[in-house]
Structure 1
Amino acid sequence: MNAISASLTDSATMLRRNLRHTTRNPLALFNAVIMPIVLMFLMVYVLGDAFSVGVNYADYATPGLIMTTICYGISPTAIAVNSDMTTGFINRLRVMRISRAAVLNAHVIVTMLRSLVAITVIIGVALLMGFRPQAGFLQWLGVIGIIALTVLAIGWLTVAFGLAAKTPETAGLAAVPLMLLPFLSSAFVPADKMGPGARQFAEYQPFTSIIETLRGLLTGTPSTSSTITAIAWCAGLALIGYLWARKSFTKRG
C-alpha cells in the first residue's frame, strides 16, 4: 500500500469515527440549523419590509442565510479538533501507523457534510417562506460548487482555530468572528446602504463576494467578476487555513 492509498484509508477510518460522534451529538446539527431559521423568520417576516432591496426580500436574504448557516455550524468542529489535541487522542495515535493528516481531513469532511445537510434544510424553509430561485441546471451546479468551496475554506480555518486554541472552550469562542462576518456583509442589506466605514468593509470582505455570487446564480444573473473574486477568496482562505492547521498540528503533535 502506497502513501496516498494509506492516507485515504486512514482518512476514511477517522471519518467514520467523527460521523459516529456527530450522530451521538445531534445538538451540533440542530444548532447549525435552528439559529439560521430563527434569523430567516426575523429578517423576512419582521425586518424585511424595512429594507429596500428592489426584489422579493426572501430571494435577497437566502444567499446570506446560506453563508450564515455555514458559519453557525463551525463551532463544534473547532471544539472537536481541540478536544482531540487536549484529551490525548492524538498522542495515542503516535504508537499506531496512521497518517497524521487523516485526523484533520476527517474533521474538514464532517464539517462539509454537516453544513450541506443544514443548508439543504435552510433552502427548504426559504422555499416555504417565498424564496423563488430562477437558476437553471448549470447555475445550480455553480451554487453547489461555490458552497462546497466556501465550506472547505471555512472548514480548514476552523480546524486551524481549534488547533491554535488552548482549551475547547476558547476553541469555540475562536470561531465567533467568522459567525459575525455575514452581518457585516451584503447578506441582509446592500453594502451601499451602510454608513461610512461599514460600507467599505462590507464591500471588500470575502463573504460579500461569495454571497453576491450565490445571489447572482440563484436569480439567474451570474456575475463573472464576483464569481472569480469569490473563488479566489475561497482558494486563499483554504490555503491559509490548511497551512496554519498543518503547522499547528506539527508543533503541538
Structure 2
Amino acid sequence: MEDQNKKVALITGSSMGIGLSLARLMAQQGVRVVLNARNAGRLQHTLQRFRDAGHEATAIAGDVSKEADCQAIVEQAIARFGRLDILVNNAGISAEGTLAELSPEVLRKVMEVNYFGSVFMTQAALPHLRQQRGSVLFISSAAAIRGIPGHAAYSASKMALTALAESLKIELHRDQVHVGIAYVGFTENDPQKVIYDRDGRIIPQPDRSFIKQEPVEQVAKRLYRIIENRTFKSVFTPLGKLNALMNRLAPAVGEVILRRNFFKS
C-alpha cells in the first residue's frame, strides 16, 4: 500500500546520467519518483530496475521541448501519485561547434530542449508545486557562468536558465515554492550520452578523460542537498568555483585563458 504522504519528484532526463543517479538517490530516501525521457525503451528498462529494488516509481515518456508533452507528463504524474512536490529540470542536450559553423536547426534544438523544455515543464508543474510549497530545481552548467568558445549554443541555453530562475524565485516567494539552480561542472558521462555535431547529427559525447570529472553519484548528492536545504544557487567542482570567482574579480584574465585554450585546440 502506497503512503500518500510521501513526496513525489518528477525528474526529466532520468533514464541515464545525472538524472538517473538523482532519481535513484531520492527513491532510496523514500521519495516516490516519476522518471522521464524521450527513449521509451530505455525508460522502461530503468523503471524495471527501480521496481526490482523496491522503489515506488513510474515512468512517463515524452519530449520536454514540446509543450503538450510537458502537460501530459505532469497530468499522468498527478493521476498516478496524486501530488507533485519536486520538479528537477535535468533534460538537456549539448552541441559542439562555433557559432559560424552551427546550423540553425542545431541552435534551435539546443534552446528548445535546454531552455524551453525547462520553461514548459515548470509551467505545467507550477499549480501542483504551489499546492505543496514544493521545489523546482534547474540543472545548469559551469558554461553558464561564462560562455565557452566552441559551445556557444549550449552556453547560451544554460545562461538563460539563470534569468529564468532569478525571475521565478521572486514570483514564487509568497507561494513559498523553493527555486534552485545548480551550475554543474564536468561530470562522468554515461557511455550512452550523445550530443549534436555542427550539422545536427547525433554523435557520441567526445572523450573528456583528460579533464578531472566529478562522479555522477557525488553530483546527485549535491543536487539532493540543494533541494533539502532549499538553496538558491550552487556552483559545483573546484574548477567551476574558480571560474565563477575569476569571472567576478578578473574577467579579463578569464577571457585570456579561454582564448589561449580555444586557439591552442
- TM-score bracket for this pair, using the shorter chain length: 0.3 to 0.5
Which TM-score applies when normalising by structure 1?
A: 0.33
User: Which structure dedicates a bigger proportion of its chain to helix?
Assistant: 1
Which TM-score applies when normalising by structure 2?
A: 0.32
